[in-house]
């Protein structure tokens, strides 16, 4: 066949029918032959089609990604406040506005940096895909086999594949020899599939004359002509799909954005309103501007995002100790919101380790450890009619998983090396899709020959004319054959992969087709994880639906689902195969997803993505678990992506959380932690909002009552970024209240900031704290000889002491507030006042900061404070006690189900 050096650019991309067209026509289409290309032709095609690499699209520079973090509303608001502070410092130097400007700018940079670091993790996804392509490959060039870089493979190359090789490109097989490939990274199917030269399925992923980039050769060898490289391979399509798939915005991010918008709107409204009010009353632009800045700064909780981030970080560290590695901090809370968990089967609910679980010896079911009833010949056939090899590394064998499990079983009853030495193999007739059996001829220690046979039960039984029973060898009647096949069906319904074993005395080294003695069945299964059943039961108790999505056969999927408690007898089960799913409209699928028990079998990567997106469109918060490349797009799209630690790099990089111990039960702990985090964030929001009122009212009193300003902007920042931070973090590590895993997932409509939280903070606790501040403030002024209407300069010692007293009073009341905020409905005294030692550390930090601001000379200069007799601060204690009493009464009435209290004060 004549070939030109060049290839048309449209042939660089597969047409999709390479598995179906005649091989000769395919070679003509690719302008190649079974002898491969020349070096010159390969170089020309490399120039036309490009290298065999996975490329990133729409990649942004790290600088761009960092700068975009500054465009959110919260950052813009704080940045404007910072610029206004610098402007005020320029107009009137020395009033402390410089410190305010730097503090606000620092908060903006800190928040942007936190977010950037989290998002940077996602950029590693493409690198993981690249690792699936081997660095070198064997290829036929100029009629000779040689090693080339996998990146230099081109369409039309003929690659040589052997056991243990990673397939470097998509290809059509032109030669096979007992060739099995593990396609699980692409299809999710656990069992390695025997390859063939003919088209066996209209779906290219199911067709056995194909090999795909990134998959692994388990046994045998073969040759293939390359028709797809780089982004034009199946793995390349997955890479593109994953990269173009957008990660779902986390529920906590949505709630924080909602909270920020409301608080910022309040801040801007009050700032502008009181700027105009101050201007009309005092007719001084600069003073009015400084006043407006103060109002905005007092309303905006500058420490909120750093506190939330640190709280999530602490939660992620606790989860790491339980083998759950959190990559996206905000995802800690997402698990707590999860309503649906879509879980893979292989390696997630199961151990991903095939093992012989049951035996049929003759006509009798036999325990696999019952040495007395398992004959030597049964063990010999299991060990010698087998191409797997025993290894020291997990799972204990190398080769086909079903053969490997059979060999491990045999090794528990006999020494494999001794058997191979005593019964050397003389001839093999390998398994293929037509014969569905494997036969070997071995010599015996006595000089004779024996033929050992294993394969599909219906094929092996038909090749036998006798059977071994406890009474010896007897004829295999049609009745006995039917009994055997019925037992095979029962084993298959348990999800087992069943191999039949037989033998006969051989006269010569030929492929015998009859005359065998039936020995029995060996049933192998990928056993479920021991802890999976309890984990799923806890998910159900917590109101979470668990859905299995697998690439395996429906019978296997159903069996595993039943064994781990996903379904039980009497359940209205919906089983949907990939082909059925393809035919369903969005509306039809959405209707089926409302069923209690759902299993998806034989699904493709795109279909997994479709399932996740349909759940999301129905308002569900979806967690997707998996371990293969095929899971990556769905993992990334899900609200919470969870990968197994032993899975592929691609799945781990796409995920928000990695289970280092591959333990499904760890998800349950993570759900509990996520729910606790949401509760705790709500607690410290209620805590930090309370201090907004004693920060705002001094500015209002300053304008309306013409009194000296009781609280400066610097002291407001000392509270928001200083004294409130550690107590808020301490609330972030509170243990969950008793019913946290017995209540359903929180509704999407449940907000962090509710009218009840606002009313409690702004309407009751906040005014009590403000009253305490004003009481201490005026006590200092009165004792200092101040009279109403008298203006005091900022450097007046009495004024400096008075604002110090106001600040100290707020701190005292916030100490009471942090205690009351530790529980939402449970009494503080039943929880234990001192049970959270971090709260005590937080209180100590508040008192330390108060002491430094009162007595350290540099702090006095920055905050315009002065040393103060502590008796003035102690005047705030009755107000702090009032906060404690009020909140205990609030919780008491909520526990007693007093509706009006729950309606207005329950949060």
In which band, very low, low, confident or very high, does the pLDDT at 119 lie, cut at 50, 70 and 90? Answer: low
Q: Where are the alpha helices (DSSP H) in 245-346?
A: 251-282, 285-299, 304-320, 331-337
Q: Determine which of 304-313, 370-379, 598-607, 704-713 has the lowest per-residue pLDDT on average.
A: 304-313
Mean per-residue pLDDT for 471-493? 91
* CA angle (182, 186, 191) in 5-degree steps: 35
SS3 804: helix
Express as a percent the part of the chain with pLDDT over 90: 40
Between 98 and 210, the more confident residue is 210
pLDDT at 774 over 90: yes
Cβ contacts of residue 841 below 8 Å, gap of 6+? Answer: 726, 730
Model pLDDT, residue 884: 96
Q: Determine which of 313-317, 356-360, 613-617 has the lowest per-residue pLDDT on average.
A: 313-317
pLDDT at 606 over 90: no
Between 281 and 171, the more confident residue is 171
In which band, very low, low, confident or very high, does the pLDDT at 129 lie, cut at 50, 70 and 90? Answer: very low
For 403-454, write each residue's pLDDT tens digit.
Answer: 899 999 999 999 999 999 999 999 988 876 677 899 999 999 999 999 999 9
pLDDT at 366 over 80: yes
Catalytic residue among 165, 170, 182, 344: 344
Express as a percent the part of the chain with pLDDT over 70: 91
Between 599 and 354, the more confident residue is 599
Cβ contacts of residue 801 below 8 Å, gap of 6+? Answer: 780, 784, 865, 866, 867, 868, 872
pLDDT at 239 over 80: no
How does DSSP assign 745-762, residue by residue?
PPPTT--SS-HHHHIIII
Q: Determine which of 181-190, 502-511, 534-543, 738-747 has the lowest per-residue pLDDT on average.
A: 181-190
Between 155 and 471, the more confident residue is 155
Give the whole-angstrom CA distance, residue 636 versus residue 651.
9
Model pLDDT, residue 63: 83
Between 229 and 131, the more confident residue is 229
In which band, very low, low, confident or very high, does the pLDDT at 228 lie, cut at 50, 70 and 90? Answer: very high
Model pLDDT, residue 107: 79
Model pLDDT, residue 297: 72
pLDDT at 115 over 70: no
Mean per-residue pLDDT for 700-709? 87
762: Cα separation from own chain's centroid: 38
Give the whole-angstrom CA distance, residue 744 versus residue 747.
8
For 794-830, write each residue's pLDDT tens digit.
Answer: 889 999 999 999 999 999 999 999 999 999 888 888 8
Mean per-residue pLDDT for 505-521? 94
| Catalytic residue list contains 739 | no
What's the whole-number average pLDDT of the chain? 85
Cβ contacts of residue 278 below 8 Å, gap of 6+? Answer: 284, 287, 288, 291, 292, 703
Identify which of 207-216, 562-571, 699-708, 844-853 has the greatest average pLDDT: 844-853
In which band, very low, low, confident or very high, does the pLDDT at 593 lie, cut at 50, 70 and 90? Answer: very high
Model pLDDT, residue 486: 93
Q: Which pTM value belongs to this model?
A: 0.69
- Using an 8 Å Cβ cutoff, are 683 and 824 in contact? yes
Mean per-residue pLDDT for 706-724? 88
Closest-CA residue to 529 (of 685, 303, 344): 344
Give the whole-angstrom CA distance, residue 564 versus residue 526.
12
Between 228 and 192, the more confident residue is 228
Give the whole-angstrom CA distance, residue 596 versus residue 292.
56
Mean per-residue pLDDT for 346-360? 84
Give the whole-angstrom CA distance, residue 132 versus residue 126.
10
Model pLDDT, residue 471: 80
Torsion of CA 870, 871, 875, 877, to 10 degrees: 60
pLDDT at 24 over 70: yes
Torsion of CA 628, 634, 640, 646, to 10 degrees: 0
Model pLDDT, residue 125: 46
In which band, very low, low, confident or very high, does the pLDDT at 56 lie, cut at 50, 70 and 90? Answer: low
Greatest CA separation for the chain = 123
Identify which of 294-308, 603-617, 652-666, 859-873 has the greatest average pLDDT: 859-873
Closest-CA residue to 298 (of 865, 689, 682): 689
For 540-585, write each residue's pLDDT tens digit.
Answer: 989 999 999 887 778 878 888 988 899 876 677 899 998 899 999 9
CA distances to 473, 635, 764 from 348, in Å: 44, 14, 50
In which band, very low, low, confident or very high, does the pLDDT at 42 lie, cut at 50, 70 and 90? Answer: very high
pLDDT at 350 over 80: yes
In which band, very low, low, confident or very high, does the pLDDT at 104 lie, cut at 50, 70 and 90? Answer: confident
Eight-state DSSP code of residue 18: T
pLDDT at 2 over 50: no
Model pLDDT, residue 317: 80
Between 83 and 780, the more confident residue is 780
Give the whole-angstrom CA distance, residue 660 versus residue 573.
32
Closest-CA residue to 15 (of 222, 161, 197, 155): 155
């Amino acid at each position: 066949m004549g070939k030109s050096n060049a290839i048309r650019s449209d042939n660089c991309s597969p047409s999709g029918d390479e598995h179906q067209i005649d091989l000769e026509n395919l070679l003509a289409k690719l302008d190649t032959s079974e002898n491969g290309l020349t070096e010159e032709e390969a170089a020309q095609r490399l120039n036309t089609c490009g290298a065999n690499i996975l490329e990133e699209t729409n990649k942004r520079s790290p600088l761009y990604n960092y700068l975009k973090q500054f465009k959110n509303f919260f950052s813009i608001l704080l940045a404007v406040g910072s610029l206004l502070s610098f402007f005020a410092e320029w107009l009137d130097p020395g009033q402390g506005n410089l410190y305010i400007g730097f503090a606000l700018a620092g908060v903006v940079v800190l928040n942007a940096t936190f977010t950037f670091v989290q998002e940077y993790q996602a950029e590693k996804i493409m690198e993981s895909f690249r690792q699936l392509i081997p660095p070198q490959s064997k290829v036929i060039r100029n009629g000779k086999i040689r090693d080339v870089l996998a990146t230099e493979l081109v369409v039309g190359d003929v690659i040589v594949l052997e056991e243990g090789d990673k397939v470097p490109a998509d290809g059509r097989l032109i030669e096979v020899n007992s060739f099995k490939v593990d396609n699980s990274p692409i299809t999710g199917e656990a069992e390695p599939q025997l390859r063939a030269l003919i088209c066996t399925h209209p779906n290219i992923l199911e067709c056995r004359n194909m090999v795909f980039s990134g998959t692994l050769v388990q046994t045998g060898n073969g040759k293939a002509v390359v028709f797809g490289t780089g982004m034009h391979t199946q793995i390349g399509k997955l890479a593109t799909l994953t990269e173009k798939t957008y990660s779902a915005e986390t529920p906590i991010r949505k709630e924080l954005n909602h909270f920020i918008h409301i608080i910022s709107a309040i801040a801007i409204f009050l700032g502008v309103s009181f700027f105009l009010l101050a201007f009309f009353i005092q007719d001084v632009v600069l003073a009015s501007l400084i006043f407006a800045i103060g109002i905005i700064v007092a309303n905006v909780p500058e420490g909120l995002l750093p506190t939330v981030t640190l709280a999530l970080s602490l939660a992620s560290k606790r989860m790491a100790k339980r083998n759950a590695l959190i990559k996206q901090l905000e995802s800690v809370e997402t698990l707590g919101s999860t309503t649906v968990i879509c879980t893979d089967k292989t390696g997630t609910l199961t151990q991903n380790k095939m093992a012989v679980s049951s035996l049929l010896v003759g006509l009798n079911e036999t325990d696999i450890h019952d040495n007395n009833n398992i004959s030597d010949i049964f063990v010999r056939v299991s060990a010698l009619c087998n191409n797997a090899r025993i290894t020291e590394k997990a799972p204990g064998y190398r080769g086909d998983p079903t053969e490997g499990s059979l060999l491990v079983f045999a090794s528990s009853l006999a020494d494999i090396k001794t058997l191979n030495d005593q019964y050397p193999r003389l001839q093999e007739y390998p398994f293929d899709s037509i014969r569905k059996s494997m036969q070997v001829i071995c010599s015996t220690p006595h000089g004779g020959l024996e033929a050992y046979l294993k394969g599909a039960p219906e094929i092996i039984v038909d090749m036998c004319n006798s059977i071994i029973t406890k009474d010896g060898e007897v004829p295999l009647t049609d009745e006995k054959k039917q009994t055997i096949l019925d037992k095979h069906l029962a084993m298959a319904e348990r999800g087992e992969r069943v191999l039949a074993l037989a033998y006969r005395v051989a006269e010569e080294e030929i492929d015998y087709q009859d005359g065998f003695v039936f020995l029995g069945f060996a049933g192998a299964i990928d056993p479920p994880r021991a802890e999976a059943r309890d984990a799923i039961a806890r998910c159900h108790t917590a109101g979470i639906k668990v859905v299995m999505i697998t690439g395996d056969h429906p019978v296997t999927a159903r069996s595993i689902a039943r064994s781990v408690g996903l379904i039980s007898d009497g359940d209205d089960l919906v089983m949907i195969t990939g082909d059925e799913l393809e035919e369903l409209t969005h509306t039809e699928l959405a209707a089926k997803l409302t069923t209690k028990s759902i299993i998806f079998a034989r699904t493709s990567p795109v279909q997994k993505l479709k399932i996740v997106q349909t759940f999301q469109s129905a308002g569900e918060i979806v967690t997707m678990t998996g371990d293969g490349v095929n899971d990556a797009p769905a993992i990334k799209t899900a609200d919470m992506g969870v990968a197994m630690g032993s899975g592929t790099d691609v799945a781990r990089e796409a995920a928000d959380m990695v289970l280092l111990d591959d333990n499904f039960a760890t998800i349950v702990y993570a759900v509990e932690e996520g729910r606790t985090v949401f509760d705790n964030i709500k607690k410290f929001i209620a805590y930090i909002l309370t201090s907004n009122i004693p920060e705002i009212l001094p500015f209002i009193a300053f304008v309306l009552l013409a009194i000296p300003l009781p609280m400066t902007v610097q002291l407001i920042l000392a509270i928001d970024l200083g004294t409130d931070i550690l107590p808020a973090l301490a609330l972030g590590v509170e243990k969950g209240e008793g019913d946290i895993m017995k209540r359903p997932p929180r509704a999407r409509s449940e907000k962090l900031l509710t009218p009840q939280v606002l009313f409690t903070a702004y309407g009751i606790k906040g005014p009590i704290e403000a009253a305490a501040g004003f009481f201490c403030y005026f006590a200092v002024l009165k004792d200092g000889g101040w009279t109403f209407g008298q203006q005091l300069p900022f450097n007046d010692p009495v004024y400096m002491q008075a604002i110090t007293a106001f600040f100290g009073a707020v701190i005292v009341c916030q100490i009471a507030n942090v205690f009351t905020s530790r529980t939402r409905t449970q009494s503080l005294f039943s929880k234990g006042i001192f049970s959270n030692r971090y709260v005590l550390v937080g209180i100590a930090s508040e008192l330390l900061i108060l002491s430094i601001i009162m007595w350290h000379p540099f702090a006095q200069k920055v905050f315009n404070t002065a040393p103060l007799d502590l008796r003035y601060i102690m005047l705030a204690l009755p107000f702090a006690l009032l906060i404690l009493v009020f909140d205990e009464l609030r919780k008491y009435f909520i526990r007693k189900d007093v509706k009006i209290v729950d309606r207005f004060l329950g949060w």
